[in-house]
Structure 1
Amino acid sequence: MTTRRRVTMSTTAAPVRERILDAASRRYYADGIRAVSADRLIAEAGVSKVTFYRHFPTKDELVTTYLAQQVAAVEDSLTAKRAELPDDPAGVLEWYAEAVGSVMCATGFRGCAFINAAAELPHDHPGSRVVRDHRTWLIGQFRELLDQLGVDDPAGKAEHLMMLRDGAMVAGYVGGSPKAVAATLVTASRAVIGR
């Protein structure tokens, strides 16, 4: 699941760093990381070049911070749901599949921010490491939930769920109806875990 943090603030009310990150989040997701210049973010955030570069001396640092912010939103949501449903791993997994579906149905959906970033960034970019670490964490969460359910081969099935999630994100962007893709993701996820 990929969520985008939307903060609506006037350019004078929000702390500068937040305004820059909010502008980067909107533009990187909507237009792609490579397509967005520092000048565009400076204009959108309403800051000077000096102020912009004081907070983010390099584009790599801004991209990595943007991705870390996206990761935190996803990981915080899943962690909170696991705390809310500690004895219902199937419910957590179903919630996750439905949450991915709701992201695909949101206005402005352009695919998974993490998959998009991985396609644009070199493997050794620090932002690519953020994406890889998040994927490892997410697969680990799936494995723990599947183990709690007592399914056979929780590690292998966690990988299957990750592939289903990735495929659903891509299909939701380039394929047919996001609602149909979301429903298919839920059904396919249930089949993987035998429910």
Structure 2
Amino acid sequence: MSGTPRPGRDSRVARLPPRERILDAAEELFALEGIKAVSVQAIADRAETTKMALYRHFATKDVLIEEWLRIVAAGYTAAFDAAEAAHPDDYRAQVLSVASFVADGLPDVSHRGCPFVTSIAALPDRTHPARRLIEAHKAGQLRRLEGMCARAGLPRPEEAATEVTFLLEGAQVSAQNGSVGPGAGELLRAMVAAVLDRQAAAGGQG
């Protein structure tokens, strides 16, 4: 599958600098086959370069894995940034925007898996730099959700953010293992909204 030519993509990638070509190849192969199954040679071949050239940009495969996951994490960070920019004074809408970003990505997760989940499974050593990157990224997301919930006036923002995180993470894992159907995205949005509504109602009662 990884060797199937795709003219549109291949012509675009061919114009990239070597480092970006390598990252593009790694991203595609890691997502399709998992980080353990993909060899450095396969990445070099897909990037139309050599192992020697790859190692000039990335000292080890582990460094390449970490950089790939950094790019994946940046996509989620950008979604939080976009939510805040689109709804600067509506913090409930910010949380729902983040939930929609995850919901919209569930079909892809169902086919290719969540990069973080698959990488954690392949990297049992929690001291591995890629594992530390994932943990720091997830902790940062939780803090941002807590901030949104606090600014939305929810009485227990930490609890609300934790519940929302459980829903977002659980939806991705469920999509990956095939235990949810095509309506999972809408259900996720509704469940996150229900958490926010329940928390807000609890605050009003207090």
TM value normalised by structure 2: 0.85
Q: Contact conserved, 1:81 with 1:92, CA < 8 A, in 2?
A: yes
Q: Give, in whole Å, the separation in 2 of the partners of 1:176 and 1:154.
A: 28
Tell me which amino acid in the other structure corresponds to 2:9.
T
Q: Contact conserved, 2:110 with 2:175, CA < 8 A, in 1?
A: no
Output one character per residue of 1:18-38: Cα deviation in whole Å (capped at 9) or x when no partner. Answer: 010011111111111111100
Matches within 5 A, 1:10-159: 10=11, 11-106=13-108, 109-121=111-123, 122-159=125-162
Q: Contact conserved, 1:139 with 1:158, CA < 8 A, in 2?
A: yes
- Where does structure 2 lack aligned partners over 5 or more consecutive residues? 1-7, 199-206
Shift in Å at residue 99 of structure 1?
1.4
Counterpart position of 1:160? 163
Q: Contact conserved, 2:95 with 2:145, CA < 8 A, in 1?
A: yes
Kindly indicate which of the two structures has a greater share of residues assigned to helix. 2
Larger Rg: 2
- Where does structure 1 lack aligned partners over 5 or more consecutive residues? 1-6
Tell me which amino acid in the other structure corresponds to 1:80.
A
Q: Give, in whole Å, the separation in 1 of the partners of 2:192 and 2:109.
A: 25
Tell me which amino acid in the other structure corresponds to 1:42.
A
Output one character per residue of 1:92-139: Cα deviation in whole Å (capped at 9) or x when no partner. Answer: 211211211111123873222112211211211100111011101110
Runs ≥4 residues deviating over 6 A? none
Shift in Å at residue 192 of structure 1?
1.4
What is the RMSD of the two structures over their aligned residues, measured on CA atoms?
1.8
Cα distance change of structure 1 residues 124 and 169 upon mapping to structure 2, 3 Å threshold: same
Counterpart position of 1:8? 9
Counterpart position of 1:171? 174
Shift in Å at residue 9 of structure 1?
5.0
Cα distance change of structure 1 residues 183 and 154 upon mapping to structure 2, 3 Å threshold: same
Q: Which deviates more from structure 2 when the two are superposed, residues 78-87 or residues 137-146?
A: 78-87
Q: Give, in whole Å, the separation in 1 of the partners of 2:158 and 2:180.
A: 30
Q: Between the two proteins, what is the percent identity of the paired residues?
A: 29
Output one character per residue of 1:138-173: Cα deviation in whole Å (capped at 9) or x when no partner. Answer: 101110110011112111221111111111001112
Bigger relative CO (Cα 8 Å, ≥ 6 apart) = 1
